[in-house]
Amino acid sequence: MRTILLTTLLIVSHLVTVAQLADDRLVSYTTTPDAIALYWKDANGQPLKSLQNLKQNIGKQGKTLVFGMNAGMYRPDNSPQGLFIDHGTIRQRLDTLSGGGNFYMKPNGVFYTTTRHHAGVCTTPQFIPHDTITFATQSGPMLLIDGAIHPAFKKGSANLNIRNGVGILRRARALCHVERAGELL
């Protein structure tokens, strides 16, 4: 089984499309929502902490890692910062507080998938939990807001770091991208 992984919470899904810029600054994967899963802990309840650990963990399940990326932010104890829903169960609640650092740079947002094979991205205040959500992760800041690059990501800004993100395409597909050089936004 070919799989894609997304997250530190990590997502596994079937590979549909891979696109890479000629200069290797960006890798993008397109997949369907029903092929996405988030991972935080292994079968023994221990945080995975790395893509290598995730790769080994899903390998034990007979799956092959094709793509992996961080899909959230973590506290020093390796617990998710903000919302984390795993197979319909809320493991961490939505964080609507204010603070410093990337996570609290507004707007932050939520990526989620549902039992109806739908994926969505919304700002934290727009997120409405419901019983059809399969997986969800909260992170910040949002890279795009209504199709426009977040205003904090200007040339010369201290916020220009290597970033990754998930977006929604037509026909209910999710686009995952990993920036390699911190230069695209």
For residue 116, being part of any structural domain is answered with: yes
Domain range enclosing 98: 2-179
pLDDT digits (tens, 9 = 90+) for 48-96: 988 889 889 989 989 887 777 778 888 899 899 999 999 999 999 999 9
For residue 185, being part of any structural domain is answered with: no
Question: How many domains is the chain built from?
Answer: 1
pTM of the model: 0.81
Between CA 124 and CA 56 the distance in angstroms is 32
Between CA 140 and CA 105 the distance in angstroms is 6
pLDDT digits (tens, 9 = 90+) for 129-173: 999 999 999 998 888 888 787 887 777 777 666 677 777 777 666
Q: What value, to the nearest 5°, has the Cα angle with vertex 161 and ends 155 and 164?
A: 115
For residue 184, being part of any structural domain is answered with: no
Nearest to 157 by CA among 126, 180, 185, 181: 185
DSSP-based three-state secondary structure for 53: helix
For residue 37, being part of any structural domain is answered with: yes
For residue 163, being part of any structural domain is answered with: yes
Question: Is residue 106's pLDDT more than 60?
Answer: yes
For residue 121, being part of any structural domain is answered with: yes
For residue 118, being part of any structural domain is answered with: yes
For residue 45, being part of any structural domain is answered with: yes
